[in-house]
A and B are shown apart, each in its own frame.
Chain A
Amino acid sequence: MDELNLKEMIKSILNEMVDEVSPVINDDTTKASISTIQSIKPQEVEEGFIPDITEVDIRKQFLVPDPVDKEGYLKMKSYTPARLGLWRAGTRYMTEPSLRFRADHAAAQDAVFSYVNEDLVKELGFVEVSTQCKDKDEYLTRPDLGRKFSDEAINTIKKTVQPNQKIQVIVGDGLSSAAIEANIRDILPSLRQGLKMFGFDFGEVVFIKHCRVPAMDQIGEATGADVVCLLIGERPGLVTSESMSAYIAYKPTIGMPEARRTVVSNIHRQGTPAVEAGAYIAEIIKRMLDNKASGLDLKEK
């Protein structure tokens, strides 16, 4: 094949490829039609959208071709968020499950590395402090700093929070800021309403940036509250990045055994709904105040 032939061939192939997107201009009529296409095009683009693959409910997604017992498989799947029955292409995931896996993984990473929206903190009137961690990297690599405050931070808390209250509520970003953003608006009023039923209430809520669970102990000591309740983002997974936990302790002290904390975990849409969790935590707090104990000590009462 000589050079000229090769050139012609490449040209025609290229033309064919381009044709699919925009036809080659060779006369006036097509020029006109192209100008109309161009003026319409931006609108068309706006109307179209890519379906959000994270909207698909994995518990109901079933991609096995010719299953022996589809009903049975789906029933089994309804009990678990595990990625079952998503079939394969050769030895690998199919495109959609594979993209979904990456999307969920990305959401989990975002939940860890993002911060709780400043506007939300302001809107809910939290008293904002930070632990000794300077940034997310230090937060992740130095758990010991995530439970300590500077003198300045402690002073801020002491200045704004009433001392020796019955209940001190704290919100911490923990390993998932998304969890706080998803649940905090519903859980706080529910918790307050539940406590009111027993004749209790809580005052200023402290918000802790770069928060590890034992940070609540230092705040407990600084405020002298009877019960400290920390609502904190859980380490996100592939099932949800919006799961929150409540760690609750009666008069927590720095270095106390972990067994003194009572935990309510899995607070998210697919787990315990935030409003129900708030109502339930109110009752736990009441029991703690009645029994002057928390964690395993409370269980034994």
Chain B
Amino acid sequence: MAETLLSVGIDIGTSTTQLILSELSIENMASVFTIPRVSITDKKVIFKSDIIFTPILENNLIDSDGIKEFVEQQYKRAGIIKSDIQTGAIIITGETVRRENAQTVAKALSGFAGDFVVATAGPDLESIIAGKGAGTYSYSERQHTTAVNLDIGGGTTNLVVFNDGDIEDTACFDIGGRLIKVDGNEIIRYISPKVKEIIKKEDLDIYLNEKMNLKELDKLLDIFVQVLENSVGLGKKSPYFDLLITNKPLNTNLKIKCISFSGGVADGITKESLQNPFVYGDIGLLLGKKISGSLLMTALEVIPTVETIRATVVGAGSHTTDVSGSTITYKEDILPLKNIPILQLSKDDESTYNCGNLGNIIQEKVKWFIVDEEVQIIGLGVEGVHSPSFKFIQDLAKEIIKGLDLLIHEELPLVIIVKEDMAKALGHSLYEHLPKDYPFVCIDSIHVRNGDYIDIGKPIAEGSVLPVVVKTLVFN
């Protein structure tokens, strides 16, 4: 019998803002004779909002009230109330992340949209979410192949490479449909800083507040497309390749076999003829058309996507929530926990635990997380071992408690995330050695890395698992 979770996804992008609601089915896939194995078995988008232009205030800040109004409106249209929302994510993407109030808006909105709706940002996560929403992830898994998704939005192109259902690599470039904006009379009203630099170097005849010169624009689009080809290892390297990298290029040794396109510009690739190329007041449609004639379409096998402009929002709504393993220990009253930074122990740290040194190592690393002389809640990531002995677990629990003594002193809840299947026994050991009724969560089967943040929701599936969102939170 499946239990469902109502999940919301909200994408606040460079150019557009949208919202979707999706229903996640949670089921125990194990037989009745074994320990439950609860997983998300189905994801169904049940509501898609209108797509609006992201409201931006005159001082270049994100209009938080405008977005709140939009969310409220769409909830009403969908016929749901805020308290129905059980999980989900707000993702601030593309150039919007760079706006000054991005972080405050994300935090304010996540509380506004639902109790366990998390705020996310960062080009890596954006790439992954878009690739999952586009269906490229499941295609790579189904076909056992290596596929790259290019999510070409207003301000950025997010790349993600999936290999047989594994996330292999991500990249991000400052290439998008709204790097140049025009008004109804084809007068250029905006040029992004990096594009200005290219125009200057190439001496192109494109100027602010003048009419768009299509021939000159074509030269610029050629540069964009060449960099996109370069981004997946095709074509001759453009001199502007390094300039247009947002954070990092792809770094994988795998041979990419398939390619898919999502994001607003992806729709321009398939458009047959263009009545008015500037109908959206930007260069997106022309960029799409340029891509359709490029090496990207011929050198790799182009696979269809299930979503284009909605890929990121569908990804945020349907693909961010995960469930923990089902043998876990937690104190319910401390949930949900949000934005917990991860301290992942390295393999070396754990191999020395035998010498009784792990506690000291954790103590040292906890100091990294002291902000303004105040220690904060930390998610301690532990690898653990496969099929451990009881003694190992006892020792590990003692070392962890020793290592986190600063937090215990402040009576902060402990959050332990174990990779191997051992969280229940470890949790019981922690309970035994911690002060009576000390609040903690100990979960397993969740992958975390240093630099990640984790959100843990209230228990589902009769309390056997916790919904978990692992994310990166990078605001400039």
Residues of A near any B CB (own CB < 8 A)? 69, 71-72, 75, 185-186, 189-190, 193-194, 196-197, 245, 263-266, 269-280, 282-283, 299
- Chain B residues lying within 8 Å of A197, measured Cβ to Cβ, are 428, 431-432
Task: Given A185-B390, A273-B386, A274-B387, verify A279-B425 contact (CB < 8 Å).
Answer: yes
A-facing mask of B137-176, CB < 8 A → 1, else 0? 0000000100000000000000000001000000000000
- Chain A residues lying within 8 Å of B327, measured Cβ to Cβ, are 272, 276, 279-280
The count of residues in chain B whose C-beta lies closer than 8 Å to any C-beta of chain A is: 24
Task: Check if B390 sits within 8 Å of A190, measured CB to CB.
Answer: yes
A-facing mask of B368-388, CB < 8 A → 1, else 0? 000000000000000000111
A-facing mask of B389-411, CB < 8 A → 1, else 0? 11001000000000000000000
Answer yes or no: B323 CB below 8 A from chain A CBs.
no
- Chain B residues lying within 8 Å of A264, measured Cβ to Cβ, are 33-35
Answer yes or no: B355 CB below 8 A from chain A CBs.
no
Task: Check if A273 sits within 8 Å of B387, measured CB to CB.
Answer: yes
- Chain B residues lying within 8 Å of A75, measured Cβ to Cβ, are 144, 164
- Chain B residues lying within 8 Å of A278, measured Cβ to Cβ, are 390, 425
Task: Given A75-B164, A265-B33, A276-B421, verify A282-B428 contact (CB < 8 Å).
Answer: yes
Closest chain A residue to B431 by CB distance?
A197
- Chain A residues lying within 8 Å of B388, measured Cβ to Cβ, are 273, 275
Once bound together, how far apart are the Cα atoms of A69 and B143, in whole Å? 12
Task: Check if A272 sits within 8 Å of B428, measured CB to CB.
Answer: no
- Chain B residues lying within 8 Å of A279, measured Cβ to Cβ, are 327, 329, 424-425, 427-428
Once bound together, how far apart are the Cα atoms of A282 and B35, in whole Å? 12
Once bound together, how far apart are the Cα atoms of A280 and B33, in whole Å? 13
Task: Given A269-B387, A276-B327, A299-B32, verify A190-B425 contact (CB < 8 Å).
Answer: yes
A-facing mask of B204-217, CB < 8 A → 1, else 0? 00000000000000
Q: For chains A and B in complex, what number of residue pairs have CB atoms within 8 angstroms?
A: 81
23 contacts between A and B (CB under 8 A): A72-B164, A189-B390, A190-B390, A190-B428, A193-B425, A193-B428, A193-B429, A197-B428, A197-B432, A266-B33, A270-B387, A272-B34, A272-B421, A274-B390, A275-B388, A275-B422, A275-B425, A276-B35, A276-B423, A278-B390, A279-B329, A280-B327, A283-B424
- Chain A residues lying within 8 Å of B428, measured Cβ to Cβ, are 190, 193-194, 197, 279, 282
Closest chain B residue to A75 by CB distance?
B164
Once bound together, how far apart are the Cα atoms of A13 and B428, in whole Å? 72
Once bound together, how far apart are the Cα atoms of A189 and B34, in whole Å? 20
- Chain A residues lying within 8 Å of B33, measured Cβ to Cβ, are 245, 263-266
Once bound together, how far apart are the Cα atoms of A193 and B393, in whole Å? 12
A-facing mask of B1-39, CB < 8 A → 1, else 0? 000000000000000000000000000000011110000
Q: How far is the CB of B328 from chain A (nearest CB, A)?
A: 10
Once bound together, how far apart are the Cα atoms of A277 and B421, in whole Å? 10
4 residue pairs, one from A and one from B, having the closest CB atoms: A279-B424, A275-B425, A273-B387, A279-B425
Closest chain B residue to A245 by CB distance?
B33
Once bound together, how far apart are the Cα atoms of A283 and B326, in whole Å? 12
Once bound together, how far apart are the Cα atoms of A277 and B32, in whole Å? 14
Once bound together, how far apart are the Cα atoms of A94 and B387, in whole Å? 32
Task: Check if A186 sits within 8 Å of B389, measured CB to CB.
Answer: yes
Task: Check if A265 sits within 8 Å of B34, measured CB to CB.
Answer: yes
- Chain B residues lying within 8 Å of A185, measured Cβ to Cβ, are 389-390
Q: How far is the CB of A272 from chain B (nearest CB, A)?
A: 5
- Chain A residues lying within 8 Å of B386, measured Cβ to Cβ, are 269, 273
Determine which residue in B32, B35, B425 has the highest number of CB atoms from chain A within 10 A of its CB, and name it.
B425
Once bound together, how far apart are the Cα atoms of A37 and B404, in whole Å? 62
- Chain A residues lying within 8 Å of B34, measured Cβ to Cβ, are 264-266, 271-272
Determine which residue in B387, B393, B423, B429 has the highest number of CB atoms from chain A within 10 A of its CB, and name it.
B387
Task: Given A75-B144, A273-B388, verify A196-B432 contact (CB < 8 Å).
Answer: yes
Q: How far is the CB of A250 from chain B (nearest CB, A)?
A: 17
Q: How far is the CB of B127 from chain A (nearest CB, A)?
A: 24
Once bound together, how far apart are the Cα atoms of A286 and B344, in whole Å? 33
Residues from 58 to 113 in B contacting A, C-beta threshold 8 Å: none
- Chain A residues lying within 8 Å of B422, measured Cβ to Cβ, are 273, 275-276
- Chain A residues lying within 8 Å of B35, measured Cβ to Cβ, are 264, 272, 276-277, 280
